[in-house]
Amino acid sequence: MKLETGSLSLLYKALEQLETAFAELPDCDVEVNMEALQSTLLAAADRMRDNYPYFHPLYAGQMLKPPHPIARLAYMLSLWLNPNNHALDGGRASSAMEKEAVAELAQMFGWQAHLGHLCGGGTMANLEALWVSGRLKPGKMVAASAQAHYTHERISHVLKLPFQAVPCDRRGRMDLNALETELKRGKIGAVVATIGTTATGSVDPLPDLLALQERYGFRIHADAAYGGYYILANNLDSETRKAFDCLSRVDSIAIDPHKHGLQPYGCGCVLFKDPAVGKLYKHDSPYTYFSSTELHLGEISLECSRAGASAVALWATQRLMPLVPGGQFAAGLEKSRQAALLLFGKLESDSRFRTAFRPELDIIIWAPRADSASRTSRLSREVFESAAKRGLHLALATLPIELLGKSWIDMEWDQDQITCLRSCLMKPEHLDWIERIWQILDELTQR
Ligand SMILES: *Cc1c(COP(=O)(O)O)cnc(C)c1O
């Protein structure tokens, strides 16, 4: 196969356009030693060959999705300036583009007024949201489900906030009865609702969590790093849809454009419903060069220097494919979900495999059928390896008996966790490749 390079010619055009802004400046040529560059760059290309083909539909494993060509081009374009979105002096245009792109993300969740900015990724976005929660509810606990991203417990340690894990139901969603028992003790200040868990794409029951919030008065932070964009999809199951429909009522949201938003890595986003939390970031630094009264993104961000390139790429992507239901971007997500349901259906109705539960988004957990947890784990690893030899790349996931024990009751649980297979069908192209993927799985599990 060939990598897409045809669009690169546009980069020259765009650079010429950019150049016209600086035509008045005296020349200052940058010397490049092409020979040295070439040998070094080819050495890098050689090293990069040791990767799985993340961009290809036969890569159906971990959470990896290639950036859209427009994101790649816009990102590269901005590197000739290398803007820093810490302050307006370092990235005037790209800061304005960031504010526009972030407002579009907030709008997607139904927020007109908001405070938000891009950041390095979901970890930073969640860190800021929990930091704000901790400032507003000092000393109170953070609660998140046992299937929430492990980052929440770690972040809580960093912030010196006590952390409480809440058990999950058999579909990997927070058990609200268990949460309420904790709430009654009166120590919980913030609950993280995961909108698409990293392992299984499960969506916490947000409508009922909001009902609990009315009674117990805690903050809700939605970790929608993975699943947030699915608010645009028209093919969610009704319960999942209901959770997305009330996302606008939470206090803060983390979303990762570098997961489902077609962006290169280094692009997360944190959003707050109440812009007044901005005052918590207040500082008085003599180092930064805040030159105007307009909002500098560095004033509302824990990170200081940040790639303006990320904002330029996101802005361009959203301009090409607006974040609206029924649009081209939404159609891509719908295809991913359709692909997941299609593969899930095949696995579910075939006696060679076990599935856990119907996917809520586009992540499937499954395993070759065996009678014990240890044998299943071994078979999963065998399938993982023999699929890779045939060019199909899956991922392994080790999940606890607390999650899968309730689904796989006929299995001998001779160990307290089990290694399964996990496929994140994040690429719209997966839909057209399910038959091929199935054919490979069918062949290698014939015996
Ligand atoms: C990926 C992910 C994170 C962590 O985000 P990074 O971008 O990897 O830092 C947090 N929460 C959820 C639900 C995720 O899927």
When divided into structural domains, the chain yields a total of 2
In terms of domains, do 338 and 198 share one?
Answer: no
**For residue range 332-344, what is the model confidence (pLDDT) as tens digits?**
999 999 999 999 9
Exposure string over 182-220, b if 16+ CB within 10 A, otherwise e: bbeeeebbbbbbbbbbbbbbbbbbbebbeebbeeeebbb
Gap from CA of 353 to ligand 1 centroid (Å)? 29
pLDDT at 423 over 70: yes
Which residue's CA is the closest to the ligand 1 atom numbered 8?
A: 122
Gap from CA of 257 to ligand 1 centroid (Å)? 11
27 in any annotated domain: no
pLDDT at 45 over 90: yes
- Give the pLDDT of residue 296: 79
- Give the pLDDT of residue 298: 82
In terms of domains, do 124 and 239 share one?
Answer: yes
**For residue range 269-327, what is the model confidence (pLDDT) as tens digits?**
999 999 999 888 876 655 555 455 577 788 889 999 999 999 999 999 999 999 999 99
SS3 (DSSP) at 75: helix
Across all residues in the chain, what is the average pLDDT?
95
Per-residue pLDDT, averaged over 376-398, amounts to 97
In terms of domains, do 254 and 334 share one?
Answer: no
Exposure string over 153-179, b if 16+ CB within 10 A, otherwise e: eebbeeeebebbbbebbbbbbbbbebb
- Give the pLDDT of residue 286: 54
In terms of domains, do 154 and 217 share one?
Answer: yes
pLDDT at 103 over 80: yes
338 close to ligand 1 (CB < 6 Angstrom): no
- Give the pLDDT of residue 292: 53
259 in any annotated domain: yes
Q: How far apart (Å, rounded) are the C-alpha atoms in residues 105 and 102?
A: 5
Which residue's CA is the closest to the ligand 1 atom numbered 12?
A: 225
Q: How far apart (Å, rounded) are the C-alpha atoms in residues 148 and 200?
A: 10
In terms of domains, do 152 and 245 share one?
Answer: yes
**For residue range 232-255, what is the model confidence (pLDDT) as tens digits?**
999 999 999 999 999 999 999 999
Spatial contact of 203 and 250, defined as CB atoms under 8 Å apart: no
In terms of domains, do 308 and 339 share one?
Answer: no
Gap from CA of 125 to ligand 1 centroid (Å)? 9
**Domain around 397:** 328-446
314 in any annotated domain: yes
- Give the pLDDT of residue 278: 87
Gap from CA of 64 to ligand 1 centroid (Å)? 12
Q: How far apart (Å, rounded) are the C-alpha atoms in residues 80 and 391?
A: 37
Which of 154, 226, 265 most suits a substitution to test ligand 1, by most atoms within 8 Å of the C-beta? 226
